């Protein structure tokens, strides 16, 4: 990386692509790329294994304890205008990201992003694709003048504007300046109607058209190096919403719609690679491919949950409703439940909150417990910092058969059966409110050659049993696809050293020659072993165990370290997490 002019970088993210699904048949372009360049085999999504969280890791090179993007839905401690004044906004939204930036001193991540640093250093920069993660790569630049941002909201309410220069390039390429919607791919169905049977092809064709026919030619004409992020919503969106398996764990996320979503992502990568080749940019461009997280099929079964014993208009009998953690905690604590996403209206008997989030006890402005529902894991906040209440919440959660491991804020003290948030790199320099407890849900496998391709997890979601989710500490969710190719990478190299999405951020900063000062200490590493003349680092494995609680439950996390950088393979209660030995 000593060359006077750094190479270009393309970061391609296939949202929710399981590493074990990458092969010549499903993903010929990715399979060929990692065969030609670097195949990472010891990969890690950051827990909670959600999209905005991992986007924050890639964008900054820091783990979530520093970025404070703890999950897709977090408790912000203020009413977020772009989320209908909710205290628990969903971050995959451009106005919401603007609101949280404004509230947290202009930068909710509190760490400079790689695209921000790259444009300051004179690179051309663009981030294209899925709403939310795309903007996170340069979220403080909302004018559209310096970094090109194209996502679902482009040309629509709340979208980041386009520069005149880009509009002209779109016009020259006969492309509209409004992104298509997801159409039928956005249909998730319900308890009686299956979800979508089509991948997100039309919308992503537009993003691929923009990248290949407008942005790359524009960048080439500028004769400056560039950094381009392309975030493919597929296969995530298709695996979530697929209607292939309503109510059934098999085929789950391995049916035809999910496979079409995987192919769609691979097709988009193929188009980008072809454009780099055709426009003469291939030899000067490093390409990093990753997924923000893996994926699992949803289970809604529990024999201990109060919420599952109630009847709801939109939930199949005896299954967990959306918001079961909020309902079960309110029940166990004997406190009222309010819905932060419905102007704090009380949640009536036989109902659940709109998005599963909950404000428990106190009043709407001073809740005692807040639940941010996310999917394969939830976040629980205790705004008053009450340690006795924390003990009651921990006990109530630990008694549920859907829980597999609890991680508690170090500041609340030590609780048997749980590990501290610091044990999984969730305690750092974050400026957003600290969760009190990260609640991991149970996971298992339906049985297949590579268990991480047929994982199942209990998930707190409006989606149905048999659809798809992620967010847990299952190895099926933490094991993401990763690869790289280009002038700064080795060829035909299998990299078995631990790697994570925080490393992706630090590695791209290294490729671009950026010197970004770190505020927090939870940093990834540059994956130098994957570069010419690099040497394999020493990695150590360890098993971190909590003290047992009164019922003998122990939270365990499988950890690897390279120097100061930590990686987490899987965690939870032994026997209740895929990838964790049952003893």
Summarize as ranges the residues that interact with Zn ion (CB under 5 A): 236
Identify which of residues 328 and 477 has a Cβ nearer to Zn ion in the complex. Answer: 477
Closest CA to 240 of 290, 289, 321, 182: 182
Q: How many CB atoms lie within 10 A of CB 339?
A: 25
Identify which of residues 330 and 469 has a Cβ nearer to Zn ion in the complex. Answer: 469
Distance between CA atoms of residues 193 and 188, nearest Å? 9
Taking CA atoms, 456 is separated from 388, 445, 472, in Å, by 34, 6, 10
Q: How far is the CB of 375 from Zn ion (least distance, A)?
A: 7
3-state secondary structure of 438: strand
Q: How far is the CB of 210 from Zn ion (least distance, A)?
A: 23
Q: How far is the CB of 62 from Zn ion (least distance, A)?
A: 21
Q: Which residue is nearest to Zn ion (CB)?
A: 236
Q: How far is the CB of 290 from Zn ion (least distance, A)?
A: 15
Task: Give the H/E segment covering residue 346.
Answer: strand 345-346
Distance between CA atoms of residues 1 and 509, nearest Å? 11
Distance between CA atoms of residues 82 and 61, nearest Å? 27
Q: How far is the CB of 447 from Zn ion (least distance, A)?
A: 24
Closest CA to 232 of 487, 472, 481: 481
Identify which of residues 72 and 147 has a Cβ nearer to Zn ion in the complex. Answer: 72
Distance between CA atoms of residues 570 and 579, nearest Å? 6
Distance between CA atoms of residues 425 and 65, nearest Å? 6
Q: How far is the CB of 236 from Zn ion (least distance, A)?
A: 4
Identify which of residues 186 and 487 has a Cβ nearer to Zn ion in the complex. Answer: 186
Identify which of residues 236 and 409 has a Cβ nearer to Zn ion in the complex. Answer: 236
Q: How far is the CB of 470 from Zn ion (least distance, A)?
A: 6
Looking at the chain, the number of H-run helices and the number of E-run strands are: 15, 25
User: What residues does 196 pair with on adjacent strands?
Assistant: 242
Q: How far is the CB of 176 from Zn ion (least distance, A)?
A: 27
- Torsion over CA: 174, 125, 237, 131 (sign): negative
Say if CB 248 and CB 255 are below 8 A apart.
Answer: no
Identify which of residues 261 and 428 has a Cβ nearer to Zn ion in the complex. Answer: 261
Identify which of residues 7 and 240 has a Cβ nearer to Zn ion in the complex. Answer: 240
Identify which of residues 141 and 236 has a Cβ nearer to Zn ion in the complex. Answer: 236
Q: How many CB atoms lie within 10 A of CB 350?
A: 10
């Amino acid at each position: 990386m000593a060359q006077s002019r750094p190479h270009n970088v393309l970061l391609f993210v296939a949202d929710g692509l399981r590493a074990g699904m990458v092969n010549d048949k499903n993903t010929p372009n990715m399979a060929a790329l990692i065969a030609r360049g670097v195949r990472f085999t010891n990969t890690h999504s950051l827990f909670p294994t959600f999209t905005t969280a991992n986007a924050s890791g890639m964008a900054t090179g820091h783990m979530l304890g520093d970025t404070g993007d703890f999950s897709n839905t977090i408790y912000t401690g203020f009413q977020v205008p772009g989320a209908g004044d909710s205290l628990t906004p969903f971050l995959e939204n451009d106005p919401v990201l603007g609101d949280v930036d404004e509230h947290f001193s202009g930068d909710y991540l509190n760490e400079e992003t790689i695209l921000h640093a790259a444009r300051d250093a004179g690179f051309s920069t663009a981030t294209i694709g899925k709403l939310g993660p795309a903007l996170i790569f340069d979220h403080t630049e909302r004018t559209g003048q310096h970094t090109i941002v194209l996502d679902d909201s482009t040309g629509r309410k709340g979208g980041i504007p386009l520069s005149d220069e880009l509009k002209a390039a779109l016009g020259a390429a006969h492309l509209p300046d409004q992104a298509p919607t997801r159409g039928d791919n956005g249909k998730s169905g319900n308890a009686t109607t299956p979800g979508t049977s089509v991948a997100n092809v039309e919308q992503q064709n537009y993003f691929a058209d923009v990248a290949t026919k407008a942005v790359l030619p524009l960048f080439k004409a500028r004769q400056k190096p560039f950094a381009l992020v392309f975030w493919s919503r597929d296969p995530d969106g298709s695996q979530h919403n697929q209607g292939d398996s309503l109510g059934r764990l098999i085929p789950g996320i391995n049916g035809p719609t999910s496979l079409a979503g995987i192919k769609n992502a691979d097709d988009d990568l193929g188009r980008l690679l072809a454009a780099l080749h055709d426009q003469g940019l291939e030899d000067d461009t490093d390409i990093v491919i990753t997924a923000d997280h893996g994926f699992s099929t949803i289970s809604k079964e529990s024999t201990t949950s109060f919420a599952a014993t109630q009847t709801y208009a939109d939930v199949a009998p005896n299954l967990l409703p959306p918001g079961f953690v909020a309902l079960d905690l309110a029940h166990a604590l004997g406190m009222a439940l309010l819905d932060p996403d419905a102007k704090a209206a009380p949640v009536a008997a036989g109902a659940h909150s709109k998005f599963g989030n909950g404000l428990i006890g106190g009043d709407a402005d001073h809740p005692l417990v807040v639940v941010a529902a996310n999917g394969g894991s939830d976040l629980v906040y205790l705004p008053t910092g009450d340690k006795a209440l924390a003990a009651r919440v921990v006990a109530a959660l630990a008694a549920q058969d859907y829980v597999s491991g609890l991680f508690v804020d170090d500041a609340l003290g030590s609780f048997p059966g749980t590990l501290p948030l610091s044990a999984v790199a969730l305690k750092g320099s974050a400026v957003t409110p600290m969760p009190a407890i990260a609640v991991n849900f149970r996971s298992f496998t339906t049985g297949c050659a590579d268990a991480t391709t047929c994982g199942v997890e209990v998930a707190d979601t409006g989606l149905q049993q048999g659809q798809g989710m992620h967010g847990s500490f299952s190895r099926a969710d933490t094991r993401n696809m990763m690869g790289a190719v280009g002038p700064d990478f080795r060829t035909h190299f299998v990299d078995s050293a631990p790697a994570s999405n925080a490393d992706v951020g630090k590695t791209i900063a290294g490729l671009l020659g950026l010197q970004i000062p770190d505020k927090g200490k939870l940093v990834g590493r540059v994956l130098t072993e994957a570069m010419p003349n690099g040497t394999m680092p020493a990695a150590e494995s360890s098993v971190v165990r909590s003290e047992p609680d009164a019922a003998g439950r122990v939270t365990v996390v499988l950890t690897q370290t390279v120097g100061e950088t930590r990686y987490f393979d899987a965690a939870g209660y032994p026997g209740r997490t895929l990838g964790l030995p049952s003893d």
